A and B are shown apart, each in its own frame.
Chain A
Amino acid sequence: MTEVYLGVDVGSISTKGVVIDRAGNVLCREYLRTQGSPIVSIRRLLRELGGRLDGDCRVAGAGTTGSARRLAGVMIRADIVKNEIIAHAVAAGRYHPDCRTVLEIGGQDSKIIILRDGIPVDFAMNNVCAAGTGSFLDHQASRLDIPIEDFGAKALSAKNRVNIAGRCTVFAESDMVHKAQLGISTEDIIAGLCDAIVRNYLNTVAKGKDIQDSVLFQGGVAANVGVRDAFERALGRTVKVPEHFLVMGAIGAAILAMEESEERETTFAGFETADIGFESRAFECEGCPNRCEVIETVREGEVVDRYGDRCGKWSELN
């Protein structure tokens, strides 16, 4: 019987899952679109991973991360629920011990993590706006009618990179339209967009951070060779994209679950959780003028988790 560990990373745009063994080898991984419905996508993810796993394997620990980590944690009864910053840092430190900087750009957020000797020492996240994250690139790709997979390659074939205003997605888009109306080639505009995204990232998220080698680029946008190239140009350093860049958060969650279940039995509910009826619903508490929106997670008609209130009136009932 092989002991394996499950990591689930549910983000705004995509749902990722991995199963790793004790040595940290990735046995199987899955990447799905969340499509606004994490409960459905978590279920699909579990079904996929459960079906692909060897019958000889036993899940000895499960962890969740990402913006829907709490919901996912309740659904699969995870051993550990951890924020995505630590999850990404742990995975990067494990597979690339020499890594000192992690650039991560996901669907709707971006972050930078500084590691020293494999230990995360500093981080920053985008706080005000989501300019230059995956969903914006997605939107521009579909506007230009280019499959997102080919978007980065187009940027590499640019001859004269143009300057695109990258502070804000709305201005970036109107600037792109403007440059297109001037007759500038799509390739040059895309390359300019990649530059703008990188500039925006370095000036806001990574502001004041000491970027040192080696630099890892993780998250969905790392698939975009154009952005990676723009990073290398701007930083004057090699930027590595790890093999499992798409699922690094999930790998981190799995590693944390492994650490967590050293001493105790896992609480993991099994891949069959996929078939149990889950639902989330929200209501507005009328106890005070704050009118907090309270979220309830319901498992087969029974409330298993509540959160979202400021005072703790509801969440402390759990």
Chain B
Amino acid sequence: MKATFPNLGFDTPVIRGFFEDLGAEVVLPPPTSKRTIAMGVDHSPELICMPFKITLGSLLEALDAGADTVFMAAGARKCRFGYYHFLQKQALARTGRPCRLVPVSQYTPFDFFFRLMPSEFGVSPVRVMRAVGLMIVRSRMTEEFRRLVNRRRAVDFAGAERAIGPARELVERARTLGEIRRARQDLRRMLAVNGAGFGDPGLRIGLVGEIYMMLEQFANQDIEKELGRLGVEVLFVRSLHRHLLHLLHVDPSYRRSRRLARRYLRSCPGGEALRTVGEAIEFVERGQADGIVHIFPFTCMPENIAFEALQRFSEDSGTPLLSLSFDEHTSRTGLLTRLEAFVDLAARRKRDRSLSRR
């Protein structure tokens, strides 16, 4: 079996490691590019969301690279994403690429550990658990990597960009617990900001929104990098690490953000809308962020509802808010202009506030 799965930004090697720990041979899709999106769009319904189009394009590219078995996240609980594997299976068949698509339901851990993974890879449930444990540790490393990069970019953009290549290699190579521990130490050293004579970042912005858009840099047009270029430190909660903990019901931030969100959303409109709203409230009320950037796929129903709630929160709390919906038509120039204007606006407001406080 040559297994594959769609790209997931910096976390692609983390998932690859999981499958390799189960003894699988993995064929990765090439890094997401314009071609990925073009291939995905060709075989997608027009108004479906961007995660569908990119993951489909990614799978097509992986099949062309020699993969024969596709693992696609599923689980019909949160939003239509749960049904994507049905449609993608049909789409892949229509393109005439022979393959087997295995939906991996996210919300049935028992089935995952005791039936699906053991039967796919001929391993014991204990080995699956160990592989998941390692995946969680590795995803914590990529989460820290993102956090360190964002912090460094805000104060030393060129230096951060120079360090990213080698740092990323470290992240991709570290497999065992010992290697991961050493890699994290090296990462902290390579991307350090303390004691290096850098000033404070002028502005901190909390990034919230739909998880795929948050994790796949190509989908969000590298928004963390562009904000870093403007001297902004991007804060985030959502990551693969948090998501895995949440699926195992051991993520305390999940319950906290859902509770905070109740002020603006009495019930869950689906997807991750409650988290989006709750995280934004938490960023602001803890005094961590000077503004909120909300990103989501065009036509995403739950996040559109979250957007309405965020707007009310933004008015009530006087927090600058920028909501951006993405699809394959999103203009890069327009995005950069909006980001630049938003950062200016948030900086002017912050300056104004600190003046009036004095």
Flag whether B30 is at the interface (Cβ < 8 A).
yes
Flag whether B46 is at the interface (Cβ < 8 A).
no
Which residues 317-334 of B sit at the A interface, judged by CB distance below 8 A?
318, 320-321, 325, 329, 331-334
CB distance from B6 to the nearest CB of A (A): 16
Question: Is B344 in contact with A83, judged by CB distance below 8 angstroms?
Answer: yes
Most chain A beta-carbon neighbours within 10 Å: one of B35, B325, B345: B345
Given A208-B311, A289-B34, A316-B161 in contact, is the A83-B340 Cβ separation under 8 Å? Answer: yes
Question: Is A125 in contact with B338, judged by CB distance below 8 angstroms?
Answer: yes
B344 touches which one: A86, A125, A312 (CB < 8 A)? Answer: A86
Given A288-B33, A289-B34, A316-B158 in contact, is the A127-B341 Cβ separation under 8 Å? Answer: no
* Closest residue of A by beta carbon distance from B225: A312
0/1 string, B329-358, CB within 8 A of A gives 1: 101111001101110110011001000000
Which residues of B have CB within 8 Å of A40?
none
0/1 string, B141-153, CB within 8 A of A gives 1: 0000000000000
CB distance from B338 to the nearest CB of A (A): 6
A289 touches which one: B33, B321, B333 (CB < 8 A)? Answer: B33
Which residues 267-315 of B sit at the A interface, judged by CB distance below 8 A?
308, 311, 314-315
* Closest residue of B by beta carbon distance from A88: B341
Question: Is B30 in contact with A85, judged by CB distance below 8 angstroms?
Answer: no
Which residues of A have CB within 8 Å of B314?
122
Question: Is B161 in contact with A312, judged by CB distance below 8 angstroms?
Answer: yes
Which residues 81-130 of A sit at the B interface, judged by CB distance below 8 A?
82-86, 89, 117, 119-123, 125, 127-128
Considering the chains assembled together, what is the distance between the CA atoms of A119 and B318 in angstroms? 13
Considering the chains assembled together, what is the distance between the CA atoms of A316 and B222 in angstroms? 16
Which residues 210-255 of A sit at the B interface, judged by CB distance below 8 A?
210
Which residues of A have CB within 8 Å of B30?
289
Question: Is B345 in contact with A127, judged by CB distance below 8 angstroms?
Answer: no
CB distance from B300 to the nearest CB of A (A): 15
Flag whether A291 is at the interface (Cβ < 8 A).
yes
Flag whether A204 is at the interface (Cβ < 8 A).
no
CB distance from B38 to the nearest CB of A (A): 9
Flag whether A290 is at the interface (Cβ < 8 A).
yes
* Closest residue of A by beta carbon distance from B353: A119
Given A83-B337, A289-B33 in contact, is the A119-B348 Cβ separation under 8 Å? Answer: yes
0/1 string, A275-296, CB within 8 A of B gives 1: 0000000000000111100000
Given A82-B344, A123-B345, A289-B34 in contact, is the A67-B311 Cβ separation under 8 Å? Answer: no
CB distance from A168 to the nearest CB of B (A): 15
Flag whether A310 is at the interface (Cβ < 8 A).
yes
Which secondary structure dominates chain A's binding surface?
loop
Question: Is B161 in contact with A86, judged by CB distance below 8 angstroms?
Answer: no
Which residues of A have CB within 8 Å of B329?
128
* Closest residue of A by beta carbon distance from B348: A119
Which residues of A have CB within 8 Å of B337?
83-85, 125
Most chain A beta-carbon neighbours within 10 Å: one of B158, B221, B320, B338: B338
Question: Is A122 in contact with B320, judged by CB distance below 8 angstroms?
Answer: yes
Given A83-B337, A312-B161 in contact, is the A210-B315 Cβ separation under 8 Å? Answer: yes
* Closest residue of A by beta carbon distance from B161: A312
Which residues 27-44 of A sit at the B interface, judged by CB distance below 8 A?
none
Which residues of A have CB within 8 Å of B321?
122
Question: Is A290 in contact with B161, judged by CB distance below 8 angstroms?
Answer: no
A121 touches which one: B221, B320, B331 (CB < 8 A)? Answer: B320
Considering the chains assembled together, what is the distance between the CA atoms of A157 and B34 in angstroms? 51
* Closest residue of B by beta carbon distance from A311: B222
If A121-B320, A290-B33 are given as contacts, then 4 extra A-B residue pairs at C-beta distance below 8 Å, sorted by A number, are: A89-B345, A120-B345, A210-B315, A289-B33
Which A residues are within 8 Å of any B CB, using their own CB? 67, 82-86, 89, 117, 119-123, 125, 127-128, 208, 210, 288-291, 310, 312, 316
Q: What are 30 A-B pairs with beta-carbon distances under 8 A?
A: A67-B333, A82-B340, A82-B344, A84-B337, A85-B337, A85-B341, A85-B345, A86-B341, A119-B348, A120-B348, A121-B318, A121-B320, A121-B349, A122-B320, A122-B345, A123-B342, A125-B334, A125-B337, A125-B338, A127-B331, A127-B334, A128-B329, A208-B308, A208-B311, A288-B31, A289-B30, A289-B33, A289-B34, A290-B35, A310-B221
Which B residues are within 8 Å of any A CB, using their own CB? 30-31, 33-36, 158, 161, 221-222, 308, 311, 314-315, 318, 320-321, 325, 329, 331-334, 337-338, 340-342, 344-345, 348-349, 352
Pairs A-B, 3 closest by C-beta atoms: A85-B341, A289-B33, A289-B35
